[in-house]
Amino acid sequence: MKKNDFSIAENAPLNDGWRREQSAKSLAEVHGSIAVPQHGTRWRKLVAFAGPGYLVAVGYMDPGNWATSIAGGSRFGYTLLVVALVSNIMAVLLQSLCTRLAVATGRDLAQACRDAYSPFTAWFLWVAAEIAICATDLAEVIGTAIALNLLFGMPLELGVILTALDVFVVLYMQSKGFRWVEAYVVVLLGIIAVCFFMQIVLADPDWGAVVRGFAPTTEIVTNPEMLYLSLGIIGATVMPHNLYLHSGIIQTRNYGNSLQEKREAISYSTWDSTIALTLALAINASILILAAATFHKVGRTDVVEIEQAEALLTPLLGSAMAPILFGVALLCSGLNSTVTATMAGQIVMEGFINFRIQPWLRRLITRGLAIVPTIIVTLIYGDKGTANLLILSQVVLSLQLPFAIIPLIMFTADRKKMGVLRSPLWLTAMAWLVAIVVIALNLKLIYDVATGAG
């Protein structure tokens, strides 16, 4: 029997706390491909570790996030800004656990689940992760197709089909090296940031109301519609696939094997993700602020569709440039999300079931699963249907979160699995609080839907 055989007997636990010995390297083709200077300034080391956090930050501004933020801003003004803030805090905390798990064990989250649980449990978690990735891809398909429609007048059906071609962009970037992938993502994030900065300047929001929007209110939980959109924002921000992604791509750094080198890797990688996610919060919040400052301000509380929002920007902001900026940012968002979803899909499939296929084939299969329902809904229900499908995809992501969060917290708190690098008690306690909040919100949402309250 091979060392990493998935069928290894469950009654033969390993001495390090894992049921099975370590699986193959995560993203083997780029594993340890980026050198980290052993000596030098803190700045040089931080630069060496900078990159993975920005790929994770893409989850803040994928097209699905736009739908929930636009709907939340137009319907409730600045009230849901606090949800964006809480989501950011959750993301920072959970991504730090991903870094800790990867560095301490040499496993990504999918591999850790495979090596720790029974085959049945691992396959169940794999299916849940694949559902989350398909929901993410669904949002990318719809968002990119809408962007092509806004910028070039391309029919949505044709735009949906053309999104399958983005696999070549991903393959080209990966062939150039992982640093090129990170640079590509950072450039697109920069374009999105500039576009929204210019739109916010044009919108001239009530900054006092913006500040008040970051204060919590019980209405978010007691109002079913507000809760539904809040879950969508959380699902669009703290994405399940980001947890698998981050724990895999951090291993592209060749940080060494000594305890001191691993401690430094955890520290610098956590700084990388924290800075990237904090920067992304500004962009994520700006989508909601733009919707509140334009649509909610004039009483247009029914704006839930991206196309509808774009059409109203010119008359409300008094600038023909506004919808162009909106469309460019949306297109960059869709292209960016393509890269991260592709790598997350590869990590999940290889990690959970030890099944490897060519990245282009993996990409086409995932994209095909997203394209088919999108085309059907578009043909039957039109733009309104795609808008509802976009928001629903984000709620699906939120419902999948516990299946990724709970194993992550359990692994990183286990001394036998993590050794001296296990999470400190305060970090574990905060992580469990996040998990409890997410699960409680999900149960409340399910109850509201079941009873018709939502």
Is residue 29 assigned to a domain? Answer: no
- Mean pLDDT calculated for residue range 176-201: 89
In 3-state terms, what secondary structure has residue 155?
coil
pTM above 0.75, yes or no: yes
| Residue bearing the bigger pLDDT, 297 or 266 | 266
pLDDT at 370: 62
- 138-164 pLDDT, tens digit each: 777 777 888 888 888 888 778 777 777
Return the axis-axis angle of helices 321-353 and 109-116, rounded to nearest 10°. Answer: 30
Domain extent at residue 313: 48-451
Is residue 274 assigned to a domain? Answer: yes
35: region left, alpha or beta (phi > 0 left; psi from -120 to 50 alpha): beta
Q: For residues 343 and 355, what is the distance between their CA atoms, to the nearest angstrom?
A: 14
Is residue 188 assigned to a domain? Answer: yes
Q: For residues 414 and 145, what is the distance between their CA atoms, to the nearest angstrom?
A: 44
In 3-state terms, what secondary structure has residue 36?
coil
The count of structural domains within the chain is 1
Token representation of residue 132: 């989350």
The CATH number that applies at residue 443 is 1.20.1740.10
pLDDT at 388: 67
Residue 402 has pLDDT above 90, yes or no: no
Q: What percent of the chain has pLDDT over 90?
A: 31
**Residue entry with tokens 């109002």:** 223
Handedness of CA 259, 423, 87, 370 (dihedral sign): positive
pLDDT at 5: 40
- 128-137 pLDDT, tens digit each: 888 888 777 7
Is residue 38 assigned to a domain? Answer: no
Is residue 28 assigned to a domain? Answer: no
Is residue 414 within a helix (H) or strand (E), and if so which, with residue range?
none
pLDDT at 208: 93
CA angle 183, 306, 222 (to 5 degrees): 105
Candidates 211, 190, 251; CA nearest to 57 is 190
34-38, 323-327, 371-375, 418-422: segment of lowest average pLDDT:
371-375
Q: What percent of the chain has pLDDT over 70?
A: 85
Is residue 66 assigned to a domain? Answer: yes
- Mean pLDDT calculated for residue range 404-428: 95
Candidates 433, 62, 435; CA nearest to 233 is 62
pLDDT at 7: 38
Mean pLDDT over the full length of the chain: 82
pLDDT at 1: 37
Please report which confidence band the pLDDT of residue 28 belongs to, taking 50, 70 and 90 as the band edges: confident
- Mean pLDDT calculated for residue range 207-219: 91
319 CB-contact burial (10 Å; exposed 0-12 / middle 13-18 / buried 19+) = middle
pLDDT at 8: 36
401 to each of 20, 119, 218, 368, 427, how far by Cα in Å?
Answer: 25, 20, 23, 23, 18
Cβ pair 14, 20 in contact under 8 A: yes
Is residue 16 assigned to a domain? Answer: no
Residue 361 has pLDDT above 80, yes or no: no
- Mean pLDDT calculated for residue range 13-35: 77
In 3-state terms, what secondary structure has residue 310?
helix
Is residue 12 assigned to a domain? Answer: no
- Mean pLDDT calculated for residue range 369-375: 67
